[in-house]
Amino acid sequence: MRSLENADLQERIAAVLAGDIQKFEAIMQAYQRPIFFYCYHMLGQYNEAEDCGQEVFLKAYRSLGQYDPNLPFGAWLYTIAYNQCIDVIRKRKLTKYLSLFYRDDQENRPVDQHMEANYPDAPVQQAMAMLTAEERNLLLLRTVEELSYQEISRMLHQNTARLRKRYERSARKFRKYYAQAKGVKHYGYGQGSGAEGTSS
């Protein structure tokens, strides 16, 4: 999500703030795809992710004057995207989120089937659905978008060491749920953050 060089990006932002609206289209094109997939990971539905992504850029445009150049622009967009996804989840009641991954085949939209090349398989979706929105957000920002703990810390206004512990715990939970979704009866939590005696 670093398609634009920082100098070029700042120049475009300045142009938009000066009234050149067309410059924002180039910014949106550079970040549109990763923001969409972030929303899709968070929400699990194509149409919701598409609508959510559009709303993210609309809000970004409206609040561009409040953007702090000292903060990575991508991190600022992810903050907006996260808050927007949380709003969507609250509206549809997160307690029913898991049912999205057990729909009958006839309910699957053709466009969802076309996403297979760009989106993880069903066990990954099911494992992600078992996590809280906050856990999904942290895993996506750290592993998919490859943001540093320092960048995420600035986004979420949380201590870096605490975020690292939360990430390790979320990763363990994901590996456990993923193994269950794959039908593995006996499994370990994988490498990296050690084993855990009891499920969390």
Q: Does residue 197 register a pLDDT over 50?
A: no
Identify the band that residue 179 occupies on the pLDDT scale cut at 50, 70 and 90: confident
Domain with CATH 1.10.10.10 in the chain: 120-189
pLDDT for the residue numbered 84: 93
> Quick one: average pLDDT of 127-132?
86
| More confidently predicted of 93 and 170 | 170
> How far, rounded to the nearest angstrom, does the alpha carbon of residue 199 sit from its chain's CA centroid?
25
pLDDT for the residue numbered 64: 93
Domain with CATH 1.10.1740.10 in the chain: 1-98
> Quick one: average pLDDT of 154-165?
88
> Quick one: average pLDDT of 96-104?
43
Q: What is the CATH code of the structural domain delimited by 120-189?
A: 1.10.10.10
Rg (CA), the chain: 18
Q: What is the CATH code of the structural domain delimited by 1-98?
A: 1.10.1740.10
Tell me the residue type at 140: L
Identify the band that residue 56 occupies on the pLDDT scale cut at 50, 70 and 90: very high
pLDDT for the residue numbered 165: 92
pLDDT for the residue numbered 185: 55
> Would you give the DSSP letter of residue 69?
T
